[in-house]
Amino acid sequence: MNAPRGNMLTLSLLDELIRVLQSLRTEQCGCLVISGGNHVFSVGADPKQLLALETCEEVLERLSQTNDLIAKFEGITIAAIAGYALGGGAELALACDFIVGNETSKIGFPEVSIGVIPGGGATVRLPHRIGVAKSIELILTGRVLSGTEALSINLIDSFTGSIQPSKWSREFAEQITRSNHNQIHSVKQLLRASFEDRSVLLTKERSLLVQILRNKAN
């Protein structure tokens, strides 16, 4: 990602991500590294578009579609987080198979500070990584974690210290893609099958957030 205002997930950026991810479905891509560069991963959804009733459902639908494409990607997906990954940005990372951070990483779900809840998959995917209790704590306090804190609770999988996560991730991707595409796809498919179908829960999460946004507008 390379977009203004901290890779803010505007409708235009989400549309571009969807376009790229859909185009990659026709290729045998063994590994996909998602990065925002060396300074920020993504500060999350555009609050003006998210809090406006005329665009909120469209934003949530696009974010859901983006994360669903990442989660169902046949190859291995890696989120390389340098700097901030907040709200929808952190949810985008949660849709990936691996999350890599370093000493600059700051990860959190600050939606509670603007009177809403996550709507891009955090309430569904986060507990699978860090458990229900820690998920409640992070979502309802909005606390932002450092890279080392995130590593200590398994929110990130690898900590690269002073090395840029994107550099480390590219080298890791080279190791993974030594296996052929069928091997990668088969292993990922089998491991993912161990999780229950999340589609109903993800839809419920979006519906609850839309209800909260409507109540705030009244």
Predicted confidence band at 17 (pLDDT cuts at 50, 70, 90)? very high
CA dist., res. 9 & res. 32, Å (int): 19
**Residue 174 counted as domain residue:** no
Residue 146 belongs to some domain of the structure: yes
Report pLDDT for 196.
Answer: 56
Mark whether 88 is an active-site residue.
Answer: yes
Phi and psi of 9, rounded to 5°? Answer: -80, 75
In this predicted structure, the answer to whether residue 208 has a pLDDT above a threshold of 80 is no
Reference 6, options 66, 72, 73, 88; nearest CA is 88
Cα 57 to the chain's mean position, in Å? 18
Evaluate whether residue 68 is within a structural domain: yes
User: Rounded to whole angstroms, how far apart are CA atoms 123 and 138?
Assistant: 11
Asked whether residue 45 is domain-assigned, the answer is yes
Portion of the chain with pLDDT greater than 70, in percent:
95
Look up 45 and say whether it is catalytic: yes
pLDDT of residue 189: 77
Question: Is residue 12 a part of any domain in this protein?
Answer: yes
- Interval 5-16: pLDDT, tens: 899 999 999 999
Higher pLDDT, 200 or 43: 43
42-81 confidence digits (pLDDT tens): 999 888 888 887 888 899 999 999 999 999 898 999 999 9
Q: Is the residue at 32 inside a domain? A: yes
Specify whether the CB–CB gap between 216 and 116 falls below 8 A: yes
Task: Name the region of 41 (left: φ>0; alpha: ψ -120 to 50; beta: rest).
Answer: alpha
Cα Rg of the chain, angstroms: 16
Q: Residue 140: which CATH number? A: 3.90.226.10
| Cβ 84 vs Cβ 43: under 8 Å | yes
19: in domain: yes
Q: What is the arithmetic mean of pLDDT over 93-114?
A: 96
Looking at residue 193, its pLDDT comes to 67
Asked, for residue 169, whether it belongs to a domain, the answer is no
Whether 173 sits among the annotated catalytic residues: the reply is: no
Is residue 57 flagged as an active site residue?
A: no
- Catalytic residue (one of 90, 111, 150, 173): 111
Give me the domain span that covers residue 8. Answer: 4-164+179-213
Domain count for the chain = 1
pLDDT at 205: 75
User: Of 36, 44, 45, 87, which residue is the catalytic one?
Assistant: 45
